[in-house]
Amino acid sequence: MGAGAIGSVAHQSYLSSTHRRTAPGVLPPIPVFDLRKSDPAAHAVDGKERTLALADACLGPLTPAARLAVSGADALARRWLLASGTPYADEIARIAAGTGVDGAHLLNASYEWGCTALAAPAPDGESARLLRTLDWPFHGLGQRVELWRQRGPAGEFAHLSWPGAVGLLTGMAPARFAAAINQPPLRRRAPIDAIAIDAAIATLSTWRSSGRIPALHLLRRVFETAPDFSAAREMLERTPIAAPAIFTLVGLAPGETCVIERDIEAFETRQGVASAANTWRYANFPGEWGTGRASEQAHDSDQRAEMIEGWAGRAGAPFEWVKAPILNGMTRLAVEADPAKGTLRALGYEEAPNDADSAVPATLPLDWSAAA
C-alpha cells in the first residue's frame, strides 16, 4: 500500500460504494502541461481548484472528526517523509501551504492499488515498448489525469500524473527509457485474514523507518538523473526503498526490457519479455492478498499478467489490449510508450455506469510525441 495507504482498504471501498455512477458526457482531452521551467508544487498551487478536486476524489468529504484524523496522519507522514531522505519534501510542503489540501503529505506517501504492465519488444522488432494500466478505486482520477513535461540533469521526460502529486507512476524519457511502478502483495502480519489490518501494520512499520526513499519518489529521481536504461535499472535495483514495489522498465533496443521486483533492499530482475501485476511473479519475497472483497481484484493478477504477455511484439489498434480482466471497474489509465520513437499514448477511464466490474473511456485518447 506504499508508505501511506491513504486511508485503509475499507475507506477506499466506502468511497467506491458511495459514488454515484454516471455515464460520461463529452469526453475531455488529456491536458499537457510544460513544467520544464517549473515543478509539480508550483503547478499544484497554480491549479489549486484541480488539486483540491483530486484530494476530494481520494479522501472524500471530511467530517470534522475525519479531518482531525487526516491531520494527525498527515503530520506523521510529513515527519516520515523528512526522515526518508526524499528530495521532494520541500515541494510537498509548498503544496500543503499553497493549496490548503488536507493530507498533502499523506497523499504523497502512497501509491497505486492495482496495475498491469508489460516490457517487451515493439511490434516492428526495432525498439522496446511499455504497456501499462493503472487501477485505483478512486472515482474521477481517469477524468483528471494530466501529462506533464519535466526536465532533470539527464534530460527531459514526460509522465502521467495528477495535481498535488510529486512522485512518478508512469513515464517516458525520450531516447532513454520508459518505466512504471506496481504495488506488490502485502506482507501478512495480522493473526486473522484482514487486509486492512495488514495495510495499517505495513504503514506503521514503514513510518518507523528512516533513510529509505518512497518508491514512486525514487522513480522520479531515476527519470531526472539516469542517462540510459542500464543506469535506470541499476538505480531501481539497488537504491533502498521504504516499502516493496515492482518496476517495469524498457529502454531503446528491443532487448532492453525487464521487470524488477523489489523488497526494501533485495531485488529480483526478469530480463527479456516480462510482465507485472500485483503478485510476485519472479521473486520469493513474502506477501499475499488473502481473501475478502477488498482483495478480489488482486487475485486475478496472474491472469492479467499472462494476458498482457500475449501482446509482446504484437501489433494492434491503440489500446486494443485493454480488455477484461486487464480492464476492470478500477481501471483509471492506460498507457503505451516507446522511448526509442519518443511516442506515448494515454487514455483515461472511469467505472462503467451500468457495470461495476468494467470501465469506459473518460477522456479522448492522447497521442503525444517528443518531436511535436
Rounded distance between C-alpha atoms, residue 143 and residue 122, angstroms: 28
CA 26 to chain centre: 26
Please say if the pLDDT value at position 196 is more than 50. no
For the chain, give the percent of residues with pLDDT over 70.
81
pLDDT band at residue 64 under the 50/70/90 scheme: low
Tell me the three state secondary structure of residue 73: helix
pLDDT band at residue 290 under the 50/70/90 scheme: low
pLDDT band at residue 296 under the 50/70/90 scheme: low
Please say if the pLDDT value at position 32 is more than 80. yes
Rounded distance between C-alpha atoms, residue 93 and residue 89, angstroms: 6
pTM of the full structure: 0.88
What is the residue whose three cell numbers read 481473501? Answer: 291
Sorted by where each starts, the structural domains of the chain and their CATH numbers stand as 9-19+26-369 (3.60.60.10)
Question: Greatest CA separation found in the chain?
Answer: 57
Rounded distance between C-alpha atoms, residue 171 and residue 247, angstroms: 12
Please say if the pLDDT value at position 294 is more than 60. no
Please say if the pLDDT value at position 132 is more than 80. yes
pLDDT band at residue 70 under the 50/70/90 scheme: confident
The 10 Å Cβ neighbour count of residue 327 is 22
Rounded distance between C-alpha atoms, residue 163 and residue 55, angstroms: 9
Note whether 172 and 159 are within 8 A (CB). Answer: yes
Burial class (CB in 10 A: 0-12, 13-18, 19+), 287: middle
For the chain, give the percent of residues with pLDDT over 90.
68
The 10 Å Cβ neighbour count of residue 23 is 9
> Which residues does residue 156 pair with via DSSP β-bridges, in sequence order?
151
Rounded distance between C-alpha atoms, residue 81 and residue 109, angstroms: 7
pLDDT in tens, 320-348: 999 999 999 999 999 999 999 999 999 99
Residue with the larger pLDDT of the pair 297 and 324: 324
Please say if the pLDDT value at position 231 is more than 80. yes
Which amino acid type is present at position 355?
D
Please say if the pLDDT value at position 123 is more than 80. yes
Residue 225's pLDDT is what? 99
Dig out the grid coordinates for 289 from the structure. 492478498
Q: What mean pLDDT do residues 26-44 have?
A: 98
pLDDT in tens, 82-113: 889 999 999 999 999 999 988 899 889 876 56
Residue 193's pLDDT is what? 44
- Mean pLDDT in the chain? 87
Please say if the pLDDT value at position 366 is more than 70. yes
Q: What mean pLDDT do residues 13-42 have?
A: 76
Rounded distance between C-alpha atoms, residue 41 and residue 28, angstroms: 24
> Which residues does residue 331 pair with via DSSP β-bridges, in sequence order?
135
> Which string of DSSP letters, residue by residue, matches 2-13?
TTT-SS-HHHHH
pLDDT in tens, 246-257: 999 999 999 999
Strand order in the sheet with 32-34: 32-34, 146-152, 155-161, 170-173, 177-182, 245-250, 257-262, 267-271
Q: What mean pLDDT do residues 225-245 have?
A: 97
Residue 173's pLDDT is what? 99
